[in-house]
């Protein structure tokens, strides 16, 4: 049985999503992609990933809403979530962390390799 960790990436920017997915695959992670919040929430329940990398500005349902719904659902509430976004306002960072995100990464400040490092730290690898 494969022991590769499952990462759910919820990102509507296809270029970025591919970039992160490729990097994560190279690092041995199994990656599931969702391009909107609704699909992200659905996949979180179906796939039970080890970690969710979640954008905030998403079609259909924003990342805060996805995070909030994951955290009140007994099935998904223990899945660590890292927010990966361009929103860098202090109150948005605070809101994300209060909703239960493990970390809050500003896309412009982090290279994909650094994001992978954060994922591994969060998973305790």
pLDDT score for 87: 80
Segment 39-59, tens digit of pLDDT:
999 999 999 999 999 999 999
Segment 94-122, tens digit of pLDDT:
999 999 999 999 988 888 899 999 999 99
Instruction: Read off φ and ψ for residue 48, nearest 5 degrees.
Output: 45, 65
Residue 67 has pLDDT above 50, yes or no: yes
pTM, full prediction: 0.93
CA dihedral 37→43→46→51, nearest 10 degrees, is -100
User: Would you call 124 helix, strand, or coil by DSSP?
Assistant: coil
User: Would you call 43 helix, strand, or coil by DSSP?
Assistant: helix
pLDDT score for 1: 38
Q: Where are the domains of the chain?
A: 6-119
Reply yes or no on domain 6-119 having CATH 3.40.50.2300. Answer: yes
* Section 75-88 average pLDDT: 92
């Amino acid at each position: 049985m494969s022991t590769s960790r499952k990462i759910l990436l919820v990102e509507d920017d296809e270029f970025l999503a591919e970039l992160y997915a490729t990097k994560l695959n190279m690092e041995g992670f199994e990656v599931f992609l969702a391009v909107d919040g609704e699909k992200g929430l659905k996949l979180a329940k179906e796939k039970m990933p080890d970690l969710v990398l979640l954008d905030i500005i998403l079609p259909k349902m924003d990342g805060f809403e996805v995070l909030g719904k994951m955290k009140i659902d007994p099935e998904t509430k223990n899945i660590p979530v890292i927010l990966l976004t361009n929103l860098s306002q202090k109150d948005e960072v605070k809101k994300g962390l209060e909703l239960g995100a493990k970390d809050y990464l500003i896309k412009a400040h982090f290279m994909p390799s650094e994001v992978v490092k954060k994922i591994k730290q969060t998973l305790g690898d």
